[in-house]
Structure 1
Amino acid sequence: MAKLYFRYGTMNSGKSIEVLRVAHNYEEQGKKVLLFTSVVDDRYGIGKVASRIGMQKEAAVVDDDMDMFAIAQSERPNAILVDEAQFLGEKQIKQLVDIVDSLNIPVMAYGLRADFLGQLFEGSYHLLALADTIEEIKTVCWYCDKKAIMNMRCKDGIPVFEGEQIMVGGNDSYVPVCRKCYAAERKKLQASQPRIHP
């Protein structure tokens, strides 16, 4: 019985390398894999799943108009892998559910759980609600040895805590941190800002 998997982690936790590893394992056995990635992530070029260690693979680009169910129905792969799944919308997540339930094709979606303010992305919200299996891909905090669960946005190496939810970037823009270090950096920034007295 096929399942919908949501495998989430912070920035720099190895999600994309895991996508590439799983795709390689299927293909090495002569099995067909469909690889999708969001149109939003263009760090390495549109339609590429790429890891920070240099490996990459072409992928179909998911935008609002793509019908992943129709593609899966036509192609009949052994599995579907989705990178940057946090950027998908509700309609696209429901297509993934339909692929699993109607076509009996396993779908493995990889992405961030929450943004730099600790708010769920739309795709993550629906995956957390609908996935059969939810698994965390772990990494360590940038500042200490605890498990990272937050994505801290930085500008010129300084943490920032305001801005648009989506800003595509790598290690120059985000670091994985634990909740305690995230709170400490936020307090440090607030303490450094001048107070306005009435």
Structure 2
Amino acid sequence: MLPRALCTSGAGCSSLRAAAASRSRLHKTLATPVRRLLGLGSGSSAWAGGSDRLGVAAAAAQQRRPIASALEALAEADSTPEALQPPPSAQPQHPGSYLHLAAQPRPLTVEHPHPGIEIFMGPMFAGKTTALLRRVAELEARGFSVAVVKSSKDDRYCNASVVTHNGLKRPCFAAPTLRAFREAAGADYPSFHVIAVDEAQFFPDLHDFCSHAADHEHKRVVLAGLDGDFQRKRFGQVLDLLPMADSVVKLTAHCKFCKQEHKQVPALFSLRIAADSRQELVGGADTYAPVCRRHYVQLSQLRQPDEQPDSSGSSGGTA
């Protein structure tokens, strides 16, 4: 504060008027470069609220500090930095800052997929293998390494490829067990992010392999297989994996005999039309037909007594 004598004297008033005039001139001097720096118009609400901060800068200039020092004082006195900050391009980017990371392209790295188990199941001709190959293509498009495996018992179309009923084909490992597949993969096995298994019902070590791969090896396991045989009984170990699966999709086909009646009815079951009572009978349209519940019950009752599967549960089924 000024002494009372200075305030009441003419010299004191003259000094105050001179200081006010100097401050006003400095406001005008700083206004233009600061507006340009901040990219704000004179009518901006953020600019209108900056008079106090300009006053701090003016006081610094009155002490014969350079304009750069005055601008530094203005930045230090700003209590709302978001209001008068320059555009991001004008800010210095320090290593480790958010802007520095955002401005730099991130390296293209393959992240490991979440470990887990996916199951596609259903009757014959439901599109299980097609769904499996579609999922494989999706995962590969994201950069993951995928190994496709099928049972060596499935030799209908090709021994070294997974083949759908409509002709889609994908090279694969063919093995009697999943342990044998792992041995055949050898040093390449750890590099696989995803293991895709077709005809999963044929693998006797399905449960142990999948649970270990997902829980301890952090792999994603995708399965396609039958949930039941032609007697509508458990087939293999596919159902044993349901409690630990991340996702389960039950697919359906179209009932062959309803189509002959010009109806589109979902087929939930596989009807064996060949006279064979073995559970593991690999075949196609000449051996099995997808049927709805009504046709399954009706046509199963038409089987001859010597064609009926035994009650032990070890016979009948689909491949």
Does residue 120 of the first structure (1) align with residue 237 of the second (2)?
no
Task: With a CA cutoff of 8 Å and minimum separation of 6, indicate the structure with the bigger relative contact order.
Answer: 1
Report what 1:85 is aligned to. Answer: 200
In 2, are the aligned partners of 1:68 and 1:92 still within 8 Å (CA)? no
Q: Deviations over 1:112-152 (max 9, x none)?
A: 11111111112223233543332112222112233211111
Inter-partner Cα distance in structure 1 for 2:286 and 2:240 = 29
Inter-partner Cα distance in structure 1 for 2:192 and 2:253 = 31
Q: Secondary structure at the match of 2:223?
A: strand
Q: Which of 150, 153, 164 matches 2:272?
A: 153
Q: Secondary structure at the match of 1:143?
A: helix
Q: 1:25 to 1:125 in 2, by over 3 A?
A: closer
Q: Tell me the CA shift for residue 85 of structure 1.
A: 0.3
Report what 1:5 is aligned to. Answer: 118
Q: Which has the higher strand share?
A: 1
**TM-score after normalising by structure 2:** 0.53
In 2, are the aligned partners of 1:33 and 1:79 still within 8 Å (CA)? yes
Does residue 45 of the first structure (1) align with residue 158 of the second (2)?
yes
Report what 1:21 is aligned to. Answer: 134
Q: Secondary structure at the match of 1:66?
A: helix
Q: Which of 200, 216, 228 matches 1:102?
A: 216
Larger Rg belongs to: 2
**TM-score after normalising by structure 1:** 0.82
User: Structure 1: which 4+ aligned runs deviate by more than 4 Å?
Assistant: 69-73
Given residue 118 of structure 1, which amino acid in structure 2 is its aligned partner? Answer: R
Point out where structure 1 has 5 or more consecutive residues left out of the alignment: 194-198
Inter-partner Cα distance in structure 2 for 1:101 and 1:35 = 19
How many pairs align?
Answer: 186
Point out where structure 2 has 5 or more consecutive residues left out of the alignment: 1-113, 259-263, 308-319
Q: Which of 250, 258, 261 matches 1:136?
A: 250
Q: 1:72 to 1:85 in 2, by over 3 A?
A: farther
What is the Cα-based RMSD across aligned positions, in Å?
Answer: 2.5
Q: Tell me the CA shift for residue 164 of structure 1.
A: 0.4
Report what 1:66 is aligned to. Answer: 180
Identity in percent: 28
Inter-partner Cα distance in structure 2 for 1:114 and 1:88 = 14
